[in-house]
Amino acid sequence: MADRVPQITPPDADEWPEPTPEQLDLVRRVLAPHIHRARAERAEQPKAA
């Protein structure tokens, strides 16, 4: 029989620790290229009247 993966219930938002400055820097570095690309794409689109 295949091993079952236990279902993990995520904690409430209040139980999550605050991110460290290092974690925030990592997230910013990872997301920065995507954010800049999305901004550039939006800038190229004509504005709706």
Please give the radius of gyration of the chain, using alpha carbons only, rounded to the nearest integer.
Answer: 19
Query: What percentage of the chain reaches a pLDDT higher than 70?
Result: 88
Stretch 12-39: mean pLDDT: 88
Predicted confidence (pLDDT) at residue 18 exceeds the cutoff of 80: yes
Provide the percentage of residues in the chain whose pLDDT is more than 90: 27
Which amino acid belongs to residue 18? E
- Give, in degrees to the nearest 5, the angle at Cα 11 between 10 and 12: 120
Cβ neighbours for 19, distance < 8 A, ≥ 6 positions apart? 27
Tokens of 34: 């995507």
